[in-house]
Each structure stands twice: as structure tokens, then as C-alpha cells.
């Protein structure tokens, strides 16, 4: 049997599980490099998944700790989905995926690993990115270090947010 080394997983296995909400803790930490936050809006932020399904797997999270969409106000909902769109634009520029999985798991029964602070997953996909490794080896191969992807996504968000600031409004006519 061949062995596959994934030393970065040791951090997850050995780490003490933090008390409280990881999203609230990340939002309160000013070090976006450490927390893997790639963009901060007024009402939400975008953070990379530390244990991603694919390279570039990001999550859009409202700043307020809420578990249900009905608990968000109109401005929060608008920014949450606007930043979901920005995330796709950034990934298109930086990662050039061939498709996306975008969604929410609301509640533990729906598969939410963090069920008390809602978030939207944006997972870039490529033809052939699902192969025998996860099925036979229970291993997912991520081709780029998280910090390298963080740098590229952060730079991409800076460019997309700059473009959005100078673009005409997409509101009603």
C-alpha cells in the first residue's frame, strides 16, 4: 500500500477544539492572514475553509451570529448574496474553475458542521477533480498551500471590490 503524507492535517488532529464560534473569533481577530479572511464587508465577511473540499473553498458569513436566514435584515441578506457573487468573480479571475457548488447547510440534520452561525459555501470545481483518492483512500488532494491561495484570493477580492466601487449600480432602471 502506498502512503500519502498530509502533514498539515496534524494541526487539525492535535489542536484543541476552540470554545465558542470559530466565525465570531475570526471576525474579531485583526490578522486576516492567520484567520484566512479574504474580504470584509460592512455586514459580512469571506473566509477560506481551513479544511477545504477543493482549493479555494470559501464561505460567506454574516457578521452577526445568526443561525437562520429569517434572523438577518434586508441589508445583511443583500450583502451576503452580493459577496457570494463577488466570490465567484474572484475565483473566476484567480482559479479559473469550470463550475461551482454554492450552498448552505442549515441545521445539523442538513449537514452543517457549524450550525449556529449560518454561512454560504462557494466551492470551485473542475472536471475531473473528483477522483479515486477520496473514495478509496479517504484523502483529498489540494494542489496549493492555503496561504498561497489566501494571498491570491485576497488580491482578487481587492480587484473585484475596486471594480464594483467604480461600476454603475446594478439596481432598477
Q: Per the annotation, where are the binding residues for substrate?
A: 49, 121
Residue 150 annotated as catalytic: no
Q: Which residue among the candidates 33, 57, 117, 119 is catalytic per the annotation?
A: 119
- Distance, in Å, from the CA atom of 101 to the CA atom of 122, rounded to the nearest integer, reads 6
Q: Which residues are annotated as a binding site?
A: 49, 121
- The b-or-e profile of 94-121 (16+ CB within 10 A means b, else e) is bbebeebeeebbeeeeeebeeeebbbbb
C-alpha cell at 55: 482549493
Q: Number of C-alpha atoms within 13 angstroms, CB side, residue 78?
A: 6
* Dihedral sign (CA 126, 22, 7, 157): positive
State the catalytic residues: 119
Amino acid at each position: 500500500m502506498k502512503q500519502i503524507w498530509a502533514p498539515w492535517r496534524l494541526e487539525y488532529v492535535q489542536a484543541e477544539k476552540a470554545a465558542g464560534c470559530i466565525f465570531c473569533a475570526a471576525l474579531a481577530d485583526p490578522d486576516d492572514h492567520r484567520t484566512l479572511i479574504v474580504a470584509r464587508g460592512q455586514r459580512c465577511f469571506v473566509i477560506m475553509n481551513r479544511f477545504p473540499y477543493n482549493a479555494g473553498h470559501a464561505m460567506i458569513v454574516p457578521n452577526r451570529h445568526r443561525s437562520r436566514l429569517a434572523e438577518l435584515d434586508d441589508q445583511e441578506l443583500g450583502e451576503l448574496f452580493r459577496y457570494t457573487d463577488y466570490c465567484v468573480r474572484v475565483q473566476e479571475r484567480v482559479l479559473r474553475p469550470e463550475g461551482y457548488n454554492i450552498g448552505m447547510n442549515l441545521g445539523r440534520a442538513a449537514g452543517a458542521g457549524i450550525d449556529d452561525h449560518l454561512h454560504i459555501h462557494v466551492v470551485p470545481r473542475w472536471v475531473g477533480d473528483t477522483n479515486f483518492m477520496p473514495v478509496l483512500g479517504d484523502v483529498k488532494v489540494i494542489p496549493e498551500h492555503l496561504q498561497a491561495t489566501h494571498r491570491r484570493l485576497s488580491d482578487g477580492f481587492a480587484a473585484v471590490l475596486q471594480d464594483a466601487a467604480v461600476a454603475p449600480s446594478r439596481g432598477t432602471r
